[in-house]
């Protein structure tokens, strides 16, 4: 009996779709598999929310710093009833560790809305999250973070280069 040593072709997107279903259910799986950039963006936002939810308070602060950094105060006011603008004005995002009670008020839905807003600025704004996720063994080992990183890299590869 001879063994087949030829690789078995795997349909494009199948592993990410399966992982998305395990991480976030059918809604996330549909968004990941969708062809439209809007649906892909929604998947990225939902994953950012899941990664935020599972992060420790110091990591939550770093994730928020990266997400809010590209926004002006006016854009921050438009998200989550101004929660991010209040924090940005209070601290300038320099010392979020000292704002434990304020950070606890930020919900996953607020972070998803923030991620939606940041995506309007382009892929580069979200790629800043890769640094935070990659430096945290706990976050980097989660399925949601792995899927998020995959989608961010795929999005960066498909976006046109920034003009100087």
Per the listing, tokens 């304020």 go with 102
Q: Write out the chain in H/E/C secondary structure.
A: CCCCCCCCCCCCCHHHHHHHHHHHHHHHHHHHHCCCHHHHHHHHHHHHHHHHHHCCHHHHHHHHHHHHCCCCHHHHHCCHHHHHHHHHHHHCCCCCHHHHHHHHCCCHHHHHHHHHHHHCCCHHHHHHHHHHHHCCHHHHCCHHHHHHHHHHHHHHHHCCCCCC
Is residue 91, in this structure, part of any structural domain at all? yes
Is residue 27, in this structure, part of any structural domain at all? yes
Is residue 5, in this structure, part of any structural domain at all? no
Spatial separation of the C-alpha atoms in residues 76 and 68, rounded to whole Å: 7
Is residue 4, in this structure, part of any structural domain at all? no
Is residue 6, in this structure, part of any structural domain at all? no
Model pLDDT, residue 24: 79
Give percent of the chain with pLDDT exceeding 70. 80
What domain range includes position 130? 14-158
Domain count, the chain: 1
28-32, 38-42, 115-119: range with lowest mean pLDDT: 28-32
Model pLDDT, residue 19: 79
Is residue 7, in this structure, part of any structural domain at all? no
117 contacts 66 by C-beta, under 8 angstroms: no
Spatial separation of the C-alpha atoms in residues 113 and 163, rounded to whole Å: 27
Q: Quick check: 143 pLDDT over 80?
A: yes
Q: Quick check: 8 pLDDT over 60?
A: no
Is residue 26, in this structure, part of any structural domain at all? yes
Is residue 121, in this structure, part of any structural domain at all? yes
4-18, 37-51, 67-81: range with lowest mean pLDDT: 4-18
Spatial separation of the C-alpha atoms in residues 63 and 92, rounded to whole Å: 15
Its pTM stands at 0.79
């Amino acid at each position: 009996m001879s063994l087949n040593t030829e690789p078995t072709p795997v349909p494009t997107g199948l592993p990410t779709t399966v992982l998305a279903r395990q991480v976030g259910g059918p809604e996330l799986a549909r968004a990941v598999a969708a062809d439209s950039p809007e649906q892909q963006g929604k998947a990225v936002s939902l994953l950012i929310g899941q990664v935020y939810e599972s992060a420790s308070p110091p990591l939550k602060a770093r994730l928020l710093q990266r997400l809010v950094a590209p926004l002006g105060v006016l854009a921050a006011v438009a998200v989550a009833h101004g929660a991010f603008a209040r924090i940005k004005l209070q601290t300038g995002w320099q010392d979020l560790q000292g704002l434990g009670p304020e950070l606890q008020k930020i919900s996953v839905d607020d972070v998803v809305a923030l991620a939606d807003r940041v995506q309007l600025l382009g892929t580069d704004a979200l790629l800043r999250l890769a640094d935070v996720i990659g430096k945290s063994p706990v976050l980097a080992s989660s399925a949601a973070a792995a899927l998020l990183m995959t989608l961010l890299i795929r999005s960066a590869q498909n976006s046109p280069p920034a003009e100087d």
